[in-house]
Amino acid sequence: MNLTALREVVEGPLHGIAGRFSRFLAECWPHTALVIFTRECTGRPRKVSGPVQTVDRITIAELEALKAATAPGHPLSDTVTIGGTARAVWAVHDHTGTLLVLIVRSAKHVPEPALLAEVFGIVATSIRQQVTQASPDYLAESRAASAERARTIAEMAAEHESALVTILTTLRSRGLEDRQARLTATDSAAAALVALRSARKSDLAVSEEPPLSAFTKLRKEIRQTLRHHDAELEFSAPPRSGPPLPGEIAHAARALTRTSVLAFIAQPELARLRVAWSCDGTTLRIDVRDHESGRLDVPALRDQLDGRARALGGTVELDAVADWGSRASITLPLQLVPDSSAEDALSGLNRRELQVLSLVAQGKRNKTIADELGITESTVKFHVTGVLKKLEAGTRGEAAALALAAGIGDRVRE
């Protein structure tokens, strides 16, 4: 096995990890499609590689059911319903909670199951670390994917619900003949409506997190990290009744708070540390402070926080007064506010570049973009390069964040 190739799988950008891992596995574990399912990546919990007509039909509910049926560390070989069709699969449920699904031609025994589990464990750990670190690129890409995904879910749910309600209303009319056929159709439509609402609820559960739940998880992490530190810890949790946090905000908030706490405890003679979250429905505010030391390395901490906060439209304020105290205050908007500066930056793009950028903001790969626009993949690469240059963006994630901030997806579709 080529370990250098495995290193390339985990070193590349997170949004392309499924394709790289699929190519890595192809020789020893041949498959027709691959799915990595992780709740930690709220913007894109399904990372897929393979034919669009197959992978786009695979639902979160199907993946959850397969995950529940697969014992951690013990690859499963079976025929299951996935993508709405009975298919042969090999599945690996890693101890991190991440699931790997390989769609194969025959549900025979998994070749070298222990090795497959170990290799996937490395990839799953890499995914968890990238999410935990919450780099600016990851957060920008995740926010773009989350917004597009949430919009798509809402549009599809509204459309299907309206159609089903119309059918039910018609079927319940007493003016129709054939009572038995009407009852059968009514039951089918009602069941479909329940399934639709359940699927929407399941998708939202992946992409949102209650503030109190997110803070409770953070508190446990901090207590574990500082279990050998003498500083007294004080925590102030957000209210239980607060609105849910978008997943990338919850992950980023924990990462930014952990980073701040580690910087604070590096101060000499730190005796007491307070960590607080508050949420007013539009903004999450993080407040970390001590009351005595005041020797926080402000420039170093700012370097660690600024990029990640800006990727989500947030702000960072740091203060330190020797022998008095230090404070870190971070605000993260729960929803991205349209930014006029982002629109100005996009004004130099032509219509084709705007179309390409809109699809990039949805997390689509060059090949998929080429298919949708009816152009070659090399032409897509040319346009992406031009977009990054005009926007002065270093990565596709940064460009996607600008597109999202300006609402470019909606504007182009119109």
- Nearest Cα residue to 59 out of 168, 244, 198: 198
Classify 93 as helix, strand or coil. Answer: strand
Q: Model pTM? A: 0.55
What integer best gives the mean pLDDT of the chain?
82
pLDDT by residue (tens digit) across 186-209?
776 776 666 666 655 555 555 678
How sure is the predictor about 410, in pLDDT bands with cuts at 50, 70 and 90?
A: very low
* Mean of pLDDT values over 105-115: 88
Classify 316 as helix, strand or coil. Answer: strand
| Strand 33-37, strand 46-49: pairing | antiparallel
Name the least confident of 131-140, 191-200, 262-271, 286-295.
Answer: 191-200
Residue 301 in this model has a pLDDT that exceeds 50: yes
* Mean of pLDDT values over 320-336: 87
* Mean of pLDDT values over 71-95: 93
What is the 8-class DSSP label of residue 323? T
Residue 257 in this model has a pLDDT that exceeds 80: yes
Residue 24 in this model has a pLDDT that exceeds 90: yes
CB 260 within 8 A of CB 286: yes
Residue 218 in this model has a pLDDT that exceeds 90: yes
- Nearest Cα residue to 234 out of 158, 188, 196, 289: 289
What is the biggest distance separating any 2 CA atoms in the chain, rounded to whole angstroms? 85
Q: Give residue 21's pLDDT.
A: 94
CB 243 within 8 A of CB 208: no
- Nearest Cα residue to 333 out of 222, 394, 248: 248
Classify 43 as helix, strand or coil. Answer: coil
How sure is the predictor about 413, in pLDDT bands with cuts at 50, 70 and 90?
A: very low
What is the 8-class DSSP label of residue 179? H
- Nearest Cα residue to 151 out of 354, 413, 357: 413
Task: Give CA–CA dist 382/226, Å, rounded.
Answer: 50
- Cα dihedral across residues 68, 73, 74, 80: positive or negative: positive
> What percentage of the chain exceeds 90 in pLDDT?
31
How sure is the predictor about 408, in pLDDT bands with cuts at 50, 70 and 90?
A: low
- Cα dihedral across residues 219, 222, 226, 231: positive or negative: negative
